[in-house]
Amino acid sequence: MTDSLVLKNLIAGQETMLGQNFTVKSEFYSEYQTQVADATLFDIKMAISKARSASEGCKRLTFDERKEILDAASKKIRFDSKDLEYIVKYTGMPIKQVKRQVEDIKTTLRVIPELIEKRIGIKYGKIGRKPVVGENFFKFLHPIDGFAYVVAPANDPRVTAFVAAWLVSLGIPIVFKTASTDVLIAQKVIWEIINAGYLRGGINQVCWNTKEVKNRKLNFELVDYASAIWAFGDEETVDKLLRVEDTESGPVDHFSGKIILRHASGRTAGIYDDQYSPKKAAEIIVESALDWPIACNAMKAIFYYGGEDLEQEIKIKFQEYEKCTGDPMEEKTKVGYTKPQINNQVYSRIINLEKLGLAERILGDKKHEYQTTPILLRVEDNNSEFLSREYSTYILTLKQSETFEEAVYDANFSAGEANRLALSVFTEEEDRTLKTVLKAHHIKRARHSTELDLLFHEGNDYLHKLTIPQIHRVSF
């Protein structure tokens, strides 16, 4: 039991606990729990004050100085066995996958400023370049004024590093509201950035018990003072918790006049034609679906033309993963735990659809309330929810089409009004992909859908959303 571990709020480099603790239990390991500080309104006001006060100091650092800070943090940060256990026991993620993701944390801190520099360029310590070679003007991208309020999810230990790398690179102060199951890892990232030389008030972290309805007002307080809101979760949930407040005078829209970066869902799929290697495609598809299926870019459906060989190869790969279903703390495990509520809901729904003849479960059995072996599902109806929704569990749905064009139509239909986050296309014919209209924010050709896109994600162009362009004319 780890209830001796007390995680406080982290404001301007100081651990604070002005209110009470609340207990955070693992859904998967009954003996595992931690104590987390329940932030008060005073904590929130202090975090806001520190972030606002740090704004000018963060901007005064040159881009190269901020880049060096992130590089130093990436080199120094370490995750010991207790850190890895913390992630496994709160997420259900296999420890082998956890080790890969904490390595991604180091890479993300280092690479994002490098990508910014390569994409735009650096002039006089600022992000800027000549938009057209030979012309007599410069375009500079200045960071927005104020601070960003970031509401981070619980399903990805890389999130704090990813968001912090962007905002620190641009010199924008941050107040993180982290999930209660991610405080330890978030604070490790924050401490390394501060220790590497970043302003203490430039990066802050708070947490509170979201089960207490009265605490919803803390969100609105932070939103009102922030310049940018960076939120993860479906739009209905985000709007309810952060945006719309019901008052006696009517609903208040707290997002009005704000810069909003949304990460709404992970509706990711693939399209396959029979000109591509089924063995190679199956490997990419199954790894994208099963290596960590709760992440927002895990592949959930495949629309395939021809492809009987593909289905057989996918089945073989699923059977390999099936043998590695077990306790996530064991190194051999590939299929870990998922939230009982989702696991039970999905499995029960599949059983009912099977009885109605609307789905065929090729593989997958329930072991207990928070684990099934990997589920491979086949459907024929375009309206199936398993083609259009993200279910955070180990599942992949197959939908066969008569032609490549029909597979494209089926994929676009499943995307609905909101375009799909990512679509991996498996074909040898480049023109076929480039000439096809696909309802996707991202289109990847024969690549893992789970590859993290550091510059763009779900329609967000971070660099341009978080900066103000300024044109300087010069004389030759």
What pLDDT is attached to residue 3?
Answer: 54
pLDDT at 264 > cutoff 70: yes
What pLDDT is attached to residue 10?
Answer: 97
Across the chain, what does the average pLDDT equal?
91
For the segment 216-237, the average pLDDT, to the nearest whole number, is 91
pLDDT at 183 > cutoff 90: yes
What pLDDT is attached to residue 454?
Answer: 81
Secondary structure (H, E, C), the chain: CCCCCEECEEECCEEECCCCEEEEECCCCCCCEEEEECCCHHHHHHHHHHHHHHHHHHHHCCHHHHHHHHHHHHHHCCCCHHHHHHHHHHHCCCHHHHHHHHHHHHHHHHHHHHHHHHHCCEECCEEEECCCCCCCEEEEEEECCCCEEEECCCCCCCHHHHHHHHHHHHCCCEEEECCCCCHHHHHHHHHHHHHCCCCHHHEEEECCCCCCHHHHHHHHHHHHHCCEEEEECCHHHHHHHHHEEEECCEEEECCCCCEEEEECCCCEEEEECCCCCHHHHHHHHHHHHHCCCCCCCCEEEEEEECCHHHHHHHHHHHHHHHCCECCCCCCCCCECCCCHHHHHHHHHHHHHHHHCCCCEEEECCEEECCEECCEEEECCCCCCHHHHCCCCCCEEEEEEECCHHHHHHHHHHHHCCCCEEEEEEECCCHHHHHCCCCCEEEEEECCCCCCCCCCEECCEEHHHHCEEEEEEECCC
Q: In which band, very low, low, confident or very high, does the pLDDT at 2 lie, cut at 50, 70 and 90?
A: low
pLDDT at 118 > cutoff 60: yes
For the segment 240-266, the average pLDDT, to the nearest whole number, is 88
What homologous superfamily is domain 268-454 in, according to CATH?
Aldehyde Dehydrogenase; Chain A, domain 2 (3.40.309.10)
What homologous superfamily is domain 6-264+459-473 in, according to CATH?
Aldehyde Dehydrogenase; Chain A, domain 1 (3.40.605.10)
The per-residue pLDDT for range 269-295, each reduced to its tens digit, is 999 988 899 999 999 999 999 998 887
What pLDDT is attached to residue 237?
Answer: 85
Q: State if pTM tops 0.85.
A: yes
Alpha carbon separation from 358 to 110, 350, 457 (Å, rounded): 48, 9, 33
For the segment 431-447, the average pLDDT, to the nearest whole number, is 84
What pLDDT is attached to residue 211?
Answer: 85
- C-alpha 396/C-alpha 272 separation (Å) is 14
Q: What is the CA angle 337-342-344, rounded to 5?
A: 90
Domain ranges of the chain: 6-264+459-473, 268-454
pLDDT at 349 > cutoff 60: yes
For the segment 154-181, the average pLDDT, to the nearest whole number, is 96
pLDDT over 70 for what percent of the chain? 97
What pLDDT is attached to residue 177?
Answer: 97
What pLDDT is attached to residue 58?
Answer: 96
